Amino acid sequence: MHLLWAIPALPLAGFLILFLTEGRLPRSVVSSIGAGSVGLAALLTGYVAWQFTSSDSSEFVSSSWTWMIVGEFNVSFRLWVDALSLVMVSVITGVGFLIHWYATGYMSEEEGYSRFFCYMNLFVFAMLILVMGDNLLLLFLGWEGVGLCSYLLIGFFHKVPEFGYAARKAFVVTRVGDTFLIIALFLIFKQVGSLQIQEGLTFARESMPDPATINTIICLLLLGGAVGKSAQVPLQTWLPDAMAGPTPVSALIHAATMVTAGVYLIARMQDFFMLSQTAMLCVAAVGLVTLFIASFTALVQSDIKRVLAYSTMSQIGYMFFALGVGAWSAGLFHLMTHAFFKALLFLASGSVILAMHHEQNMFKMGGLWKKLPIPFIAMLVGSAALVALPLTSGFFSKDAILLTAWKNSPYAILFWTVAVIAAFLTSLYTVRMMVLTFFGKPQSEMHELKKESLWHPSRIRTVVPFGLLAVLSIAGGWMGFEFTSDLFGDKGVHAEFHFDPIALLTLGIPFAGVVVGYFLFASDLVDRRKIIKNRLSDLLSKFWHSGWGFDWLYDTLVVKPFRFIAQTRTNRNDIVDLFFKLIKFLASLFHHILSMFQTGHVRWYAFTMVGGLLLVFLAVVWI
């Protein structure tokens, strides 16, 4: 017997307990419920994974409950796990547990401690439903659930209006993608006649009409949904603002799990995408453009969390790129390793931020490596994996993507070149971040670290998650991506390491980035002031800093016209209002007519009752 159902049930139970007690429990109990439920789910996932690898079947199915039946439309609550979902579930519960654990320290001095874990548990539950659901509607339920939790947690410090705006922005922008997704679901149902994922895939493999224009449309709509959730161009603008949430939230939702849901969706619907060259090309292009834009933007940010946010965006761009060029397993592999090292980076930056009085500006940090050795080491390991230095996990996954792209894509040279430039930029901004934060002269006073504060970096609830994530960031790649390449059988393209010039080049790029970064940001060989004063570089940096002007663009194109139309000055007393005025008029008319019957005179009521009796009997007699 496999306890598949218990994996999402545990966080759900945690959520319900915390939700129903409304913060009346003491903090120690809240921590053990909040983190413990996810921890148990992680242990259970390990057990299920062990069963899975030792059994012959390629899928585990839980018993099913009927959700709804409308005619031939039959949706059940059924969990369905194959190797792909299992990787996702492991990442969600494993990394999720470490982040929860870290958060018990990180959030210890904040208000709404119980509320935080309540939302976090709900998020884990929704995310598990997303990856474990056996039909697309269940997937969509989880998809919207994580969107809701993302909204709630970005706006967690709800007393700051800007954070509320950030939450709303994230919600609305992802909603655009969700609309694409649900239209795609409608089309799939129309084509396949069912929302079961496996039936859909079988249909795509065997009986999709040819030429499959409808299939391409479905794929592009699915891509639209994925783009919204995974913060890819052109719906990427919400992710940097989403950093308003507490840092564990950024680590869990906006780096490790939720934003990779788009990658999961595309990988899950693989058989649809394989049929359409156009859709595949679009996926790769979206990934590549995001990768490029986000890398440049990360280069000029001053807020440490925004650097990491743009870095996340670009890394997910890598994953999309990998999916688009057919490197399914490499993309998934990168998803996994990225979850490890980016969670580590975020958690380490969280410790730094707490130590600096919630200061996130890197220019006000500096010289911290002596004072915060543990976050420094954690950050160093995470950065090494991010820039893909050899033998770290990021190296294996990123090289797999680059090599597959070289061998496998129709526009190999163009794609590969852009990807390599982005890899170079990745090293550059990572070095810049490390230099500004941990080296140089201290720019401002640090928080006085008290040993007794729960978030102190040397506490066990900080050290253990850091340690485990660091080990995973390094060793997560050693098992090789054969681990994930099995997922796709023969469909994925295997890339092996040959020491040809291309491989050597991809090997060398990170080092080149680190070296150039050192000279640019750390050494005195380059006069940085001169570069800053240069007009062109000033202009470019402003442009990049604003995220290539996307916010401005959407503000001008969408928000402002919408506001204009919505303002009461511009649209009062128009034809639409007339309609509602008519409704109001009719309602009040009927109200007056009916209220005439309500005289308050008991004898009048008796009179009407007798009259009514008469009418009824007359009707009986005459009809």
Partner 1 sequence: MELSLYLFYISAAVAITTAIMAVTRKNASHALIYLVVTLLSIAVIFFLLGAPFAAALEIVIYAGAIVVLFLFVVMMLNLGRSSVARESQWLRPGMWVLPAILSGVLFIVFGYTVLQTENSAMIEGQVVPPKEVGKVLFHEYLLGVELAGVLLLAALVGAFHVGRRYLEERREN
Partner 2 sequence: MTTALSIPLEHVFFLAIILFLIGAFGVLIRRNIIFMLLSLEIMMNACGLAFVAAGARWAEPDGQIMFMFILALAAAEVAVALGLVVQLARRFETLDIDRAEELNG
For partner 1, the binding residues (CB under 8 A) are 607, 610-611, 613-614, 617-618, 620-621
Q: Which residue has the tokens 């009461």?
A: 568
Stretch that binds partner 2, among 153-161, 492-500, 533-541, 603-611 (CB under 8 A): 603-611
Binding mask 443-482 for partner 2 (x = CB under 8 A): ----------------------------------------
Which residues pair with residue 79 across a beta bridge? 133
620 touching partner 2, by CB under 8 A: no
* SS3 annotation, 359-386: CCEHHHCCCCCCCCHHHHHHHHHHHHHH
70 touching partner 2, by CB under 8 A: no
622 touching partner 2, by CB under 8 A: no
Residues 332, 474, 398: CA angle, nearest 5 degrees: 40
5 close to 62: Cβ distance less than 8 angstroms? yes
Min. distance of Cβ 588 from partner 2 in angstroms?
Answer: 13
Output the six-digit token pair for 146: 């994580």
Cα separation, 135 vs 137, whole angstroms: 6
71 touching partner 2, by CB under 8 A: no
594 binds, among partner 2, partner 1, none (CB under 5 to 8 A by kind): partner 2
593 touching partner 2, by CB under 8 A: no
Min. distance of Cβ 591 from partner 2 in angstroms?
Answer: 9
Instruction: Give φ, ψ of 261 to 5 degrees.
Output: -60, -35
Choose among 359, 346, 260, 341: nearest CA to 305: 346
Min. distance of Cβ 597 from partner 2 in angstroms?
Answer: 8
Min. distance of Cβ 218 from partner 2 in angstroms?
Answer: 57
**Of the candidates 450, 451, 530, 603, which one interacts with partner 2 according to CB under 8 A?**
603
Min. distance of Cβ 606 from partner 1 in angstroms?
Answer: 9
611 binds, among partner 2, partner 1, none (CB under 5 to 8 A by kind): partner 1
595 binds, among partner 2, partner 1, none (CB under 5 to 8 A by kind): partner 2
Q: Which residue has the tokens 């950093």?
A: 243
SS3 79: strand
Choose among 371, 372, 373, 366: nearest CA to 432: 366
Output the six-digit token pair for 389: 């230095």
The string over 414-443, giving b where at least 16 C-beta atoms fall within 10 Å of a residue's C-beta and e elsewhere, is: ebbebbbebbbbbbbbbbbbbbbbbebeeb
Indicate the residue among 573 and 595 with the shorter CB distance to partner 2: 595
321 close to 397: Cβ distance less than 8 angstroms? no
Indicate the residue among 414 and 606 with the shorter CB distance to partner 2: 606
595 touching partner 2, by CB under 8 A: yes
Indicate the residue among 583 and 613 with the shorter CB distance to partner 1: 613
Position 551, amino acid = D
Min. distance of Cβ 593 from partner 1 in angstroms?
Answer: 23
Indicate the residue among 391 and 589 with the shorter CB distance to partner 2: 589
Helices (H), 409-524: 412-438, 460-475, 482-485, 501-517
621 binds, among partner 2, partner 1, none (CB under 5 to 8 A by kind): partner 1
Indicate the residue among 587 and 606 with the shorter CB distance to partner 1: 606
Min. distance of Cβ 610 from partner 1 in angstroms?
Answer: 6
**Of the candidates 597, 620, 621, 622, which one interacts with partner 2 according to CB under 8 A?**
597
Q: CA distances (Å), 486 to each of 238, 328, 402, 493, in order?
A: 34, 10, 19, 11
Min. distance of Cβ 222 from partner 2 in angstroms?
Answer: 56
Indicate the residue among 46 and 612 with the shorter CB distance to partner 1: 612
621 touching partner 2, by CB under 8 A: no
599 binds, among partner 1, partner 2, none (CB under 5 to 8 A by kind): partner 2
154 close to 120: Cβ distance less than 8 angstroms? no
Q: CA distances (Å), 554 to each of 228, 543, 549, in order?
A: 14, 15, 9
598 touching partner 2, by CB under 8 A: yes
Residues 237, 239, 245: CA angle, nearest 5 degrees: 135
Min. distance of Cβ 598 from partner 1 in angstroms?
Answer: 21
SS3 5: coil
Q: Residues interacting with partner 2, by CB under 8 A?
A: 594-603, 606-607, 610
